[in-house]
């Protein structure tokens, strides 16, 4: 397994090089001259020239690529173009807020998804199963925006059960006062896709021989489902959740935006609005790296949980 | 598990007796949910076509009612007089003079134009603009020179003029003739919510279809070449695939949105097309790898069919069911993504309308208790996307009988 992990890490290098090239290509070539973006609409030639010098834009393309590479390797993307805050500090300071929302959300949504999936598998094929699945399909067809807009309006604005938006200084206030509504809405939005996916994992297991054997032994359907099937169905669930961790961190960007939570997702949206390239570049490169590493961890966990899997 | 189980219409039609495509059609028609969802999807597409042809929703931009006019079914409640919409009336002179001058009233064909970047169309009156006009500093968007006595030069005059030009001609309805109520209410400016929903459907569905088409084309072409030729072509394509797959979708979408200078409908299509192809690529590549070694392909090779001919004429019909299902799935995903992109302000510009821009407006409307625009956009999108999702599921079941769920 070590050999496998080492080889996978080794294979990340070309992919990572590709990500860096793609980001470089996007931001230095497709995006036009960053100096014009940075200097704004009304700028003199001298201003643009000085910005170009500062960013190294008057160097040859391969030198610029080297500058970018050095930034990636040294974890130093310089300062934000709009706030002049170091990019690394932006991410470090925004991470806690994101985790306060995404952490509990991830745990709760996984548990709820698994419970729903097993419950649906229990009644699979009946009208309950079918109508819940149709309901979920309908729920998934309505935009996430609608759930958030309505949830915020009804639960916070009209009923006043939660603050409409905001974020405090202490972790306690944030976790207990400001985070619950975003977490609740995130949960509502994620139930349908998660349950559908997890249900397919359970259904995949349900026709296996060992399930027939368990039934033949005279075990109750509940024991078969919750002990025998669930343990095996959980393996892809865990892999799925682990490999999606970095994406989930970003995925809460709509919640963060609606509820004014100073997290990473909201920061990236702001950066896109302000054409703050260093922030977006850093986010893209490092989140891609994190995604690859977490994918590997997911695969390794799969192997640990199910020794029959041969990793090649 | 017959090898030809997945042959679709093109290949199936050539066979004697009942073709496999016909079998798939029969399986599809036997599924009641499938038929109903297909009917809804078809109705939606017809609506889009009629809107595109200028038959429906031509006047979506006209202020036909008072602002936030309630739906008919709420008429029993009092009709609040909310006064004239803030923006439109503030500058009727500009409106009337520019209105008729701009081309024929071709309706929706003019659509959202990419030119309106930055400064908004005259829906929203820029307070600075008013102020500058008061001090006589602003070059009139109609082209008249600003008084030379002031040293201030309007920095965005050109952009403003371009934006003014791109604004669609609207029918001007005097405030006293505006309706107090509409079948499904009006938005803030007094535009008919029903017409907006139809027009929004046109934008959203067309964007969804176009983005899905682009993604499917990229994915299929790359996947076919990669799976067919193997070797370094395959390695290279796999590398590109890995790179695109390593970056979470949302982040890639936002990164491309950040660098694309022009915000507009076409940008959304490009962004979603460039980010959505990976799933199609993986599946199509797998299919071509599999079919490359099949006997019918080797037979074609033996009679001297070229690579291109084998890829397009021999194998493509046999993998088209995979592509079709992926296209359908991508359309659903693209419609949903367009809504979010437009909401964030990276999508359909303010002079256009889509389900996404409607939801964005609806968020503010809701605060003053105006819910009909939210309801209309949600219902329309929910109905169409549900139908399309169910249709996709049924399509997959019908085209691939090996799948049993």
Residues B296-338 have pLDDT tens digits of: 999 998 998 888 999 888 888 888 888 988 998 899 999 989 8
Which pLDDT value is given to residue B18? 60
pLDDT tens digits, residue range A295-307? 888 888 888 877 7
pLDDT (mean) for B136-154:
52
Alpha-carbon gap: A149 to the closest alpha carbon of chain B (Å): 6
pLDDT top residue among B89 and A306: A306
pLDDT at A237 over 50: yes
HSE toward the beta carbon, residue A241, CA cutoff 13 A: 21
Q: Could you tell me the pLDDT band of residue B113, with boundaries at 50, 70 and 90?
A: very low
Question: Quick one: closest CA in B to A14, which residue?
Answer: B239
pLDDT (mean) for B375-404:
82
- Tracing tokens 């460039």 back to the chain, one arrives at B274
Which pLDDT value is given to residue A245? 82
Which pLDDT value is given to residue B239? 92
* DSSP output for chain A: -HHHHHHHHHHHHHHHHHHHHHHHHIIIIIT--HHHHHH-SS--HHHHHHHHHHHTTTS-HHHHHHHHHHHHHHT---B-TTT--BHHHHHHHHHHHHHHHHHHHHHHHHHHHHHHHHHHHHTTTSHHHHHHHHHHHHHHHS-HHHHHHHHIIIIIIIS-SS-SS---SSHHHIIIIISHHHHHHHHHHHHHHHHHHHHHHHHHHHTSHHHHHHHHTT--HHHIIIIIIHHHHHHHHHHHHHHTHHHHHHHTHHHHHHTT--SHHHHHHHHHHTT-HHHHHHHHHHHHHHHHHHHHHHHHHHHHH-TT----
Q: Do A19 and B346 touch (CB under 8 A)?
A: no
Question: Quick one: closest CA in B to A147, which residue?
Answer: B378
**By C-alpha distance, which of B184, B188, B329, B357 is closest to B268?**
B357
Tokens of B354: 């889509």
Q: How far apart are CA B228 and CA B289, in angstroms?
A: 6
b (16+ CB within 10 A) / e for B235-274: eebbebbbbbbbbbbbbbbbbbbbbbeebbbebbbbbbbb
pLDDT tens digits, residue range B210-250? 999 999 999 999 999 999 998 899 999 999 999 998 888 88
Across the A/B interface, how many CB contacts are shorter than 8 Å? Answer: 130
Tokens of A173: 């206030």
Which pLDDT value is given to residue B216? 95
**By C-alpha distance, which of B163, B162, B134 is closest to B146?**
B134
Query: Which chain A positions have a beta carbon within 8 Å of B239's beta carbon?
Result: 14-15, 18
pLDDT at B122 over 50: no
Which pLDDT value is given to residue B124? 52
**By C-alpha distance, which of B243, B234, B204, B249 is closest to B381?**
B204
Angle at B9 between CA B7 and CA B11, to 5 degrees: 55
pLDDT tens digits, residue range B252-287? 888 888 888 667 788 889 989 999 999 999 999 999
* B310 neighbors B300 (Cβ within 8 angstroms): yes
Q: Do B258 and A141 touch (CB under 8 A)?
A: no
Highest averaged pLDDT of the listed ranges B59-63, B199-203, B331-335 = B331-335
Q: Could you tell me the pLDDT band of residue B129, with boundaries at 50, 70 and 90?
A: low
pLDDT (mean) for A136-150:
86
B260 touches chain A (CB under 8 A): yes
Q: Do B255 and A15 touch (CB under 8 A)?
A: no
Question: Poorest-confidence range of A184-193, A213-222, B53-62, B162-171?
Answer: B162-171
Tokens of A146: 């609608």
Q: Do B343 and A145 touch (CB under 8 A)?
A: yes
Domains of chain A listed by start with CATH number: 2-74 (no CATH), 89-305 (1.10.3720.10)
Q: To the nearest whole percent, how much of chain B has pLDDT over 70? A: 67
pLDDT at B146 over 50: no
Q: Do B250 and A253 touch (CB under 8 A)?
A: yes
Which pLDDT value is given to residue A70? 82
* DSSP output for A25-82: HIIIIIT--HHHHHH-SS--HHHHHHHHHHHTTTS-HHHHHHHHHHHHHHT---B-TT
HSE toward the beta carbon, residue A213, CA cutoff 13 A: 6
Rounded to the nearest 10 degrees, what angle do helices A277-305 and B231-246 cross at? 110
Interface mutation vs chain A, best among B243, B252, B338, most A CBs within 10 Å: B243
Which pLDDT value is given to residue A238? 84
Which pLDDT value is given to residue B241? 92
pLDDT tens digits, residue range A6-43? 888 888 899 998 998 898 888 877 766 666 666 666 66
Q: How far apart are CA A260 and CA B19, in angstroms?
A: 58
Q: Do B247 and A141 touch (CB under 8 A)?
A: no
**By C-alpha distance, which of B53, B344, B48 is closest to B208?**
B48
Average pLDDT over chain A, rounded to an integer:
83
pLDDT tens digits, residue range B150-161? 556 677 777 777
pLDDT top residue among A47 and B360: B360
Asked whether the whole model's pTM tops 0.80, one would answer: no
* B288 neighbors B228 (Cβ within 8 angstroms): yes
* DSSP output for A248-278: HHHHTHHHHHHTT--SHHHHHHHHHHTT-HH
Q: Do B390 and A137 touch (CB under 8 A)?
A: yes
């Amino acid at each position: 397994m070590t050999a496998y992990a080492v080889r996978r890490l080794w294979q990340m290098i070309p992919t990572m090089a590709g990500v860096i090239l793609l980001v470089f290509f996007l931001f230095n070539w497709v995006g036009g001259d960053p100096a014009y973006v940075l200097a704004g609409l009304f700028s003199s030639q001298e201003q643009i020239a000085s910005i170009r010098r500062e960013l190294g834009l008057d160097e040859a393309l391969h030198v610029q690529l080297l500058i970018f590479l050095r930034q990636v390797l040294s974890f130093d993307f310089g300062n934000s173009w709009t706030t002049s805050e170091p990019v690394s500090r932006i991410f470090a300071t925004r991470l806690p807020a994101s985790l306060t929302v995404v952490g509990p959300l991830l745990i709760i949504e996984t548990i709820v998804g698994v419970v729903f999936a097993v419950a649906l598998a229990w009644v699979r094929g009946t009208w309950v199963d079918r109508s819940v699945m149709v309901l979920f399909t309908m729920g998934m067809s309505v935009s996430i925006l609608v759930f958030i807009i309505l949830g915020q309006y009804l639960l916070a604005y009209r009923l006043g059960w939660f603050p409409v938006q905001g974020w405090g200084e202490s972790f306690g206030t944030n976790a207990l006062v400001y985070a619950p509504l975003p977490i609740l809405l995130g949960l509502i939005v994620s139930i349908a896709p998660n349950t559908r996916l997890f249900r397919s994992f359970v259904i995949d297991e349900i026709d296996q021989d060992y399930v027939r054997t368990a039934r033949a032994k005279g075990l109750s359907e509940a024991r078969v489902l919750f002990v025998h099937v669930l343990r095996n169905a959980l393996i892809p669930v865990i892999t799925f959740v682990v490999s999606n961790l970095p994406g989930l961190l970003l995925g809460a960007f709509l919640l963060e935006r609606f509820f004014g939570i100073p997290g990473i997702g909201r920061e990236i949206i702001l950066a896109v609005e302000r054409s703050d390239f260093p922030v977006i570049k850093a986010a893209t490169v490092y989140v891609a790296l994190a995604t690859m590493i977490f994918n590997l961890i997911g695969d390794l966990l799969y192997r640990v949980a199910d020794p029959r899997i041969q990793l090649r | 598990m017959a090898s030809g189980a997945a042959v679709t219409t093109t290949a199936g039609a050539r066979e004697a007796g009942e073709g496999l495509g016909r079998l798939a059609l029969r399986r599809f028609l036997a599924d009641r949910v499938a038929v109903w969802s297909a009917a809804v999807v078809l109705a939606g597409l017809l609506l889009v076509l009629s809107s595109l042809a200028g038959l429906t929703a031509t006047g979506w931009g006209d202020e036909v009612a008072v602002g936030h006019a309630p739906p008919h079914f709420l008429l029993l409640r009092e009709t609040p007089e909310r006064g004239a919409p803030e923006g439109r009336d503030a500058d009727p002179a500009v409106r009337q003079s520019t209105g008729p001058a701009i081309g024929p009233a071709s309706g929706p064909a003019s659509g959202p134009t990419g030119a309106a970047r930055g400064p908004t169309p005259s829906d929203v009156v820029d307070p600075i603009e008013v102020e500058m006009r008061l001090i006589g500093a602003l070059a009139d968007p109609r082209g008249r020179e600003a008084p030379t006595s002031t040293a201030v030069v309007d920095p965005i005059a050109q952009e403003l003029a371009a934006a003014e030009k791109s604004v669609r001609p609207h029918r001007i309805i005097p405030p006293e003739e505006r309706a107090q109520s509409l079948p499904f209410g009006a938005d803030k400016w007094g535009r008919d919510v029903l017409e907006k929903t139809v027009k929004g459907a046109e934008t959203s569905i067309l964007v969804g279809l176009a983005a899905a088409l682009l993604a499917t084309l990229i994915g299929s072409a790359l996947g076919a070449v990669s799976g067919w030729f193997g070797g370094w072509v395959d390695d290279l394509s796999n590398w590109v695939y890995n790179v695109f797959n390593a970056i979470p979708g949302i982040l890639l979408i936002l990164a491309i949105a950040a660098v694309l200078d022009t915000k507009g409908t076409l940008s959304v299509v490009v962004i979603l097309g460039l980010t959505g192809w990976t799933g199609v690529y993986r599946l199509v590549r797998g299919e071509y790898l599999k079919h490359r070694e099949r006997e019918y392909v080797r037979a074609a090779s033996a009679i001297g069919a070229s690579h291109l001919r084998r890829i397009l004429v021999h194998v493509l019909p046999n993998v088209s069911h995979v592509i079709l299902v992926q296209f359908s799935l991508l359309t659903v995903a693209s419609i949903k993504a367009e809504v979010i992109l437009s909401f964030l302000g990276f999508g359909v510009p303010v002079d256009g309308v889509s389900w996404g821009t409607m939801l964005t407006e609806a968020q503010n409307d809701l605060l003053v208790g105006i819910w009909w625009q939210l309801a209309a956009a949600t219902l329309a999108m929910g109905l169409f996307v549900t139908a399309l999702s169910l249709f996709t599921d049924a399509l997959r079941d019908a085209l691939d009988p090996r799948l049993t769920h």
